[in-house]
Amino acid sequence: MRYRVGAVLVTGVVVVATLAGCTPKPDGPEPAAQAFLAAFESNDIAAAAADTDRPDAATAALTDTWTNLQAEALNAETTSVQVDGDTATVGYTYRWQLPKDRVWTYDGQLNMGRTEGEWVVRWSASDIHPELGDTQTMSLRSTAAPRARVNERSGTDVLVPGVVHRIKFDAADANNVVVSATALSSLLTPFDASITAQSIVESATSVDGDYPVALLRDSDFQPISPALAEIPGVTASDESDLLSTDPTFAPDLVGQVKKAVIDEVDGKAGWSVVTTNRNGIDIDVLTDTPPEPVPSFSISLDRNVQVAAQRAVNARTEQAMTVVIQPSTGAILAVAQNPAADRDGPVASAGLYPPGSTFKIITAGAAISSGLATPGSTVPCPGRIVIGERSVPNYNEFSLGDVTMTTAFTRSCNTSFAKLASEMSADALTVAASQFGVGPDYDVVGLPTDSGSVPPAEELVQRTEDGFGQGKVVVSTFGMALAAATVAHGSTPVPNLLVGRDTVITGDHPPIEPAMVDGLRGMMRSVVTSGTAERIADQGEVYGKTGEAEVEGGSHSWFVGYRGDIAFATLVVRGGSSDNAVAVTREMFEQLPPGY
């Protein structure tokens, strides 16, 4: 402890005395050591140095320690005392509070000496740390944790840590805004065709300061960096980001996954305290806490399935998309849509379209559930049927007469399923659709979804039209892939994309009945072996249902089904014949490696 000037009252007269001048310091080495430690922990460098026999050397070392450790606080305590004549050692414990809640604790010893009756600290660097040399200082080092990666189910990287370059333009710093904007657009247009000199001028002159023009990968930035530096008003800054390893691999979906995980990829940085010499070179490590990286994220996409599906849809000029789900687990194996579809956003998972005859899966299931018909029941299949005010035709008005429901399903008789739907209750198709997974809302982390909408139909004509996938019924390829997975698995699997993140389902989703599943499996197999999907019969034991949905300007082409543990839904928007969707699906299966 240090002693202060005090006042003493003697027989009514105040006598001022300087106690430090006439009263000796407390006897023994420990109080002197405690005085040093108290000053050191208070960052009172002058006072601490004064308690040593080499104040100048102590001042420099103590100052460097607080500065180089970036210390926020220090707690210092004595632990032991050993006296040998005019020398002694006093043990100490230092507990440093460093930035970002880092704590470093260690023990050491102060060497004490007594001269003319007073104890002082015999200065050496070991008074700061027992392993610190007299020509060394301590420094805090930070080690960044590696950012997490995103892998697909086989373990290959989909997103990896990297650096991007943000290109900015400040119109106020340009000598001639139009000239600078023209030069800038000529460099950036190859990466983004929407960037024009006019768009840069209009946007940059409407804001104060920097206008962000583009974000470039390092491989795109480096070749044009010198040219960018020559344009007045243009600057570039580096930013950490997650970068796709393959821009053609599910680009829209990978972008959605990135948004879902980007705030969670940074781990906890590691830190160490090192000794450095006079030249600033690291000599030794006094303490080391390794970084704690966040484990890599995994998504359910299967690279082989995704690539095969992507190549298949890319072959179409119309908007085309395929969603593939693993029936046994709900894992989303592929979400593929071609560039034409990409222009409208995540339509494969959230775009809604009339399902056409693929909805006969739902109608047939509802008929079985209600006891209205079984696969072997006889149903009419005239070329045209009038129900209420609606005249419903078959394709080219083909007629089969009275046939089993299996045959009507195999040949896709609109008239048969229109008649069945007309005899159902208003909510029969709504309930049946939810049993197949269509209608509930699925909050799949990393993937915007909409399974579809099947509203109750009190009105006869609407119910009739809904029965063969027209009317007010709309679905997504995601929703129909779930329906196919339900038939394959015997219950609707919970779809999932980001491993370890639960999907939240809202809305009614009652279990499907075994009789519905058993009946549909036989009918869907018949579609491939002897019906409208024979084109894909050479691709193994495929079960499916084709569909054409009439829309303004043409018809949508659909194929929905499963093979083994792969359930799929394929849509070609305004693709005409359902055979075109079958062809896309067949192309996907052809490109899969053996074992799928």
Q: From first to last of its 596 residues, what are the pLDDT tens digits of the chain?
A: 232 223 332 333 333 333 334 445 557 899 999 999 999 999 999 999 999 999 999 999 999 999 999 999 999 999 999 999 999 999 999 999 999 999 999 999 999 999 888 999 999 999 999 999 999 999 999 988 888 999 999 999 999 999 999 999 999 999 999 999 999 999 999 999 999 999 999 999 999 999 999 999 999 999 999 999 999 999 999 988 999 999 889 988 999 999 999 989 988 899 999 999 988 899 999 999 999 998 999 999 999 999 999 999 999 999 999 999 999 999 999 999 999 999 999 999 999 999 999 999 999 999 999 999 999 999 999 999 999 999 999 999 999 999 999 999 999 999 999 999 999 999 999 999 999 999 999 999 999 999 999 999 999 999 999 999 999 999 999 999 999 999 999 999 999 999 999 999 999 999 999 999 999 999 999 999 999 999 999 999 999 999 999 999 899 999 999 999 999 999 999 999 999 999 999 999 999 999 99
Residue 173 confidence (pLDDT): 95
Q: Which residues are 81's β-sheet partners? A: 90
Please name which of 415, 426, 432 lies closest in space to residue 379, comparing C-alpha atoms.
415
CA–CA gap between residue 283 and residue 257 (Å, rounded): 44
CA–CA gap between residue 298 and residue 496 (Å, rounded): 11
Q: Which residues are 285's β-sheet partners? A: 274
Provide the token pair at 164.
Answer: 């991007």
Residue position matching structure tokens 């601490």: 48
CA–CA gap between residue 469 and residue 569 (Å, rounded): 15
- Rounded to 5 degrees, φ, ψ at 367 are -65, -40
Q: Following CA atoms 512, 513, 516, 520 in sequence, which dihedral angle do they give, to the nearest 10 degrees?
A: 60
> How many whole angstroms from its chain centre is CA 226?
34
Three-state secondary structure call for residue 92: strand
Q: Using only the alpha carbons of the chain, give its radius of gyration.
A: 38
Please name which of 582, 562, 579 lies closest in space to residue 570, comparing C-alpha atoms.
582
- Surface-to-core class of residue 330, CB atoms within 10 Å of its CB (0-12 exposed, 13-18 middle, 19+ buried): buried
Residue position matching structure tokens 């490109």: 591
Residue position matching structure tokens 């030249």: 279
Cβ neighbours of 17 (radius 10 Å): 13
Residue position matching structure tokens 């129900």: 387
CA–CA gap between residue 60 and residue 127 (Å, rounded): 13
* The pairing of beta strand 13-17 with beta strand 102-115: unpaired
CA distances from 568 to 88, 109, 310, 539 (A): 82, 73, 13, 14
- Measured at the alpha carbon of residue 356, what is the angle toward residues 352 and 357, in degrees to the nearest 5? 140
Q: Which residues are 353's β-sheet partners? A: 475
Contact criterion met (CB below 8 Å) for 353 and 571: yes
- Measured at the alpha carbon of residue 496, what is the angle toward residues 490 and 498, in degrees to the nearest 5? 160
- Rounded to 5 degrees, φ, ψ at 425 are -70, 165
As assigned by CATH, the class of the 303-591 domain is: alpha beta
CATH topology of domain 162-243: Ribosomal Protein L30; Chain: A, (3.30.1390)
Contact criterion met (CB below 8 Å) for 165 and 173: no
The pTM for the full model equals 0.77
Three-state secondary structure call for residue 343: coil
Provide the token pair at 415.
Answer: 């008239």
Domain residues of the chain, as ranges? 22-134, 162-243, 303-591
CATH number among 3.40.50.10860, 3.10.450.100, 3.40.50.300, 3.40.50.150, domain 22-134: 3.10.450.100
Per DSSP (E only), the strands in 539-578 are 542-551, 554-563, 566-572
